[in-house]
Chain A
Amino acid sequence: MKALCYNGVGDLRTERVPDPAILNPKDAILRVIYSSVCGSDLHLINGYVPTVMQGDILGHEFMGEVVEVGTEVKKLKKGDRVVVGSIIACGECSYCQSQAFSLCDNSNPHAWMLEKAYGDSSAGIFGYSHAFGGYAGSHADYIRVPFADRGAFVIPEGISDESAVFVSDAVPTGYMAADMADIQPGDTVAIWGCGGVGQMAIQSAWIKGAARVIAIDREPERLRLAREHGKAETLDFSKVNLQEALREMTGGRGPDRCIDCVGMEAVSDSFAYYYDKAKQYVRLESDRPLVLRDAIMACRKGGTVSIVGVYGGLVDSIPMGAAMNKALTFKMGQQHSQKYIPELFDHMQNGRLDPSFLFTQKMSLDDGMKGYDLFNKKQTMRVVFAPGGVA
């Protein structure tokens, strides 16, 4: 089959690789219909996530058709049209049973790698480095899905393939960001980053009862989409003094809930950005926590900072004094797809959530590198590969 493989930093190639096979009884094989790029892939391609190997197939946000099931797959069957959560979870361990699927004890065959770096391991993730399991990703004609009964959800009638694909990752991530923020009636929610994840966090914040949503980015088109599809007020952080703007917009209080949908590759034109970039370059710091710092400073006393933007290693100069003395609550994590997907379908069917506008560009796998270039430069919201052809 064809697959988009990592060959080095900034170097992806479409290659011929063997078709996947069932390796464990709870596996299924999917024919991939759509497979989307995600901001998380950029961290890998740009070299910020270690243990990516030459030949690894990327991609973790996908939907398709079940073509084969293992002997222990009970619910799924051949021909089912499904979307699969980007995080792999067994459903049986104590974390899975308390719905914290991204903390699954059993789905990461390379748990020891993460354990070394983090003190404990987290779940396996499709196409997301060997520390997160080394699973082959979805930018391919076919993909093997472990624990398929847990991870694959049959797409209800009335939800198009073009919307469903994002239920894999961008939608549950944005939704979990809003869920973790613990939004109370009357709250103002500030959201950093208007990529796919941020856009979904905006829509979800309304569902969770926000009175106001303020979206922050510097890409005019993305800010426009946040206004149009998210009914958010927007701030271009490259054009305003962000701290001042947020404080004055909220009568001097600061936003009640601050959500980071940017993560380790945040940009700005400030001195801090170049400082972090330089440290990152010489490996003194692995992540650029610009948004995290902003969120902590802006957040009102007693408020919540909810983090779904990904961090991988060490960050520097976190204003811990501000967080402590303002009594902030921090909530964070990789998304628990299996927990949220059923209720997301419901929100989508009832028109409360609509991810379809994230689908800005359809491409063939052969154009993989080109697609990621466009996406990396923020020239398109999300490139979606159609292995079956783009016609």
Chain B
Amino acid sequence: MANEKRPVSDVLGMGQIEPEASGSSQINVGASERILSAAGGALLLSYGLRKASFGGLLLAAVGGYLTYRGTSGYCPMNERLGRNTAQEDEIVDAIEISKSLTINKPREEVFKYWRQLENLPRFMFHLKEIKQIDPKRSHWVAQLADNPFAKVLGSVEWDAQIIDEVENERIVWKSVEGARIDNAGEVRFIDAPGGRGTEVHATIQYRPPAGQLGGTIMKLFNPTFKQMVKQDLRRFKQLLETGEIATIKGQSSGRTKENESLEKPSSEYATVQEKHESLML
């Protein structure tokens, strides 16, 4: 877009690290091959899009991946086979998300909790697990949306590498080549002025899987994704400050059981109903 605003990371002087244009954000499928993958992918994509959750986002990403393996074309199989039927050398722009929150705890404590990457799934609900492989390298497993497609497709996994780290100050990472969603990020820990605790600034960049059209579709998810990063930070803060995460999941109400027992209701990330919004705003 022509008149896009200056990214927040730029204002903060963060996030110069761009995600590797490896995996799905590259193009290596020739035109005739593309059409075939499109149909199945489109189905997943539209299903995922209707779920305004991160699981839905991942599902759409996988769907988008298949679709654009078809329509704009990158195929990891082709890459592994050293096959590249595409002409142009196209790389998709990274999408960026920046969120900050202030935590009423000393910087060392906040940094330490985050740096123990295994802790992250405790407050990043879309993650199933993180395993530290060596001091710099880790393996990430994300959850797809809770639905039949997800069960078939399994989970989304990737490896990430810490490429820069200053103790109690910042962590910069990048997914390693071949990730389904290429991503990079930076988290900074800064003393808030006047003893107001620790500011946590997170910037995450990801390359939409599957060409420019994929980028357009992934942008639809951007508000959801932003919301999710903010929610993650908020839960991080709750855990550190109070030792627990505020919830109403499992409480009683006059609604049916199945309504109440959703692990992470998609409404958590959904937008406020329009009718309501007009009142609130």
Contact = CB atoms under 8 A, between A and B. Distances in A.
Interface residues of B, number: 38
A92 B254 contact: no
A283 B231 contact: no
A17 B230 contact: no
Main secondary structure of the interface of A (DSSP, over half): loop
A15 interface: yes
Given A108-B246, A312-B279, A1 B272 contact: no
Given A112-B268, A136-B251, A144-B252, 17 more contacts: A15-B254, A18-B257, A19-B252, A24-B245, A25-B243, A26-B244, A50-B279, A51-B280, A55-B254, A72-B243, A92-B242, A93-B104, A93-B237, A93-B241, A105-B241, A106-B237, A136-B252
Contacts of A115: 230
B237 A109 contact: no
Interface pairs A-B: 3 shortest CB-CB: A50-B276, A117-B280, A5-B254
Interface string B241-281: 11111111111111101010000000010011101111111
Given A57-B254, A90-B241, A113 B278 contact: no
B276 to A, nearest CB: 3
A314 interface: yes
Interface string A299-312: 00000000000001
A286 interface: yes
B196 interface: yes
Contacts of B246: 24, 90, 106-109, 124, 133, 146
Nearest to A136: B251
A116 B280 contact: yes
Nearest to A140: B252
Contacts of A56: 253-254
A69 interface: no
Contacts of B257: 18
Contacts of A112: 227, 230-231, 234, 268
B238 interface: yes
Contacts of A140: 252
A314 B268 CA distance: 25
A100 to B, nearest CB: 13
Interface of A: 1, 3, 5-7, 13, 15, 17-21, 23-26, 48-51, 53-57, 72, 90-94, 97, 105-113, 115-118, 124, 131, 133-136, 140, 144, 146-147, 283, 286, 312-314
A326 to B, nearest CB: 29
B106 interface: no
B248 A90 contact: no
A133 B251 CA distance: 12
A113 B265 CA distance: 14
B276 A53 contact: no
A192 B277 CA distance: 29
A53 B102 CA distance: 31
A51 B254 contact: no
Interface in B195-237: 196-197, 227, 230-231, 234, 237
Contacts of A116: 271-272, 277, 280
23 contacts: A23-B248, A26-B244, A50-B273, A50-B277, A51-B280, A53-B255, A55-B254, A57-B252, A57-B253, A92-B104, A92-B241, A92-B242, A94-B104, A108-B246, A109-B245, A111-B234, A117-B280, A131-B276, A133-B248, A140-B252, A146-B246, A283-B279, A313-B280
Contact of B272 (A6, A50, A124, A147): A50
Question: Which of B234, B251, B272, B278 counts the most A-chain CB atoms under 10 A from its CB?
Answer: B251
A17 B253 contact: yes
A90 B246 CA distance: 9
Contacts of B243: 25-26, 72
Contacts of A48: 279
Contacts of B238: 90, 106
B266 to A, nearest CB: 13
Nearest to A4: B254
Contacts of B234: 111-112
A135 B277 CA distance: 20
Contacts of A135: 248, 251
Nearest to B234: A111
Contacts of B196: 94
Nearest to A285: B279
B104 A131 contact: no
Nearest to B101: A105
Contacts of A25: 243-244
Given A23-B249, A72-B243, A147-B242, A50 B254 contact: no
Nearest to A92: B241
A113 B257 CA distance: 24
Contacts of B268: 110, 112
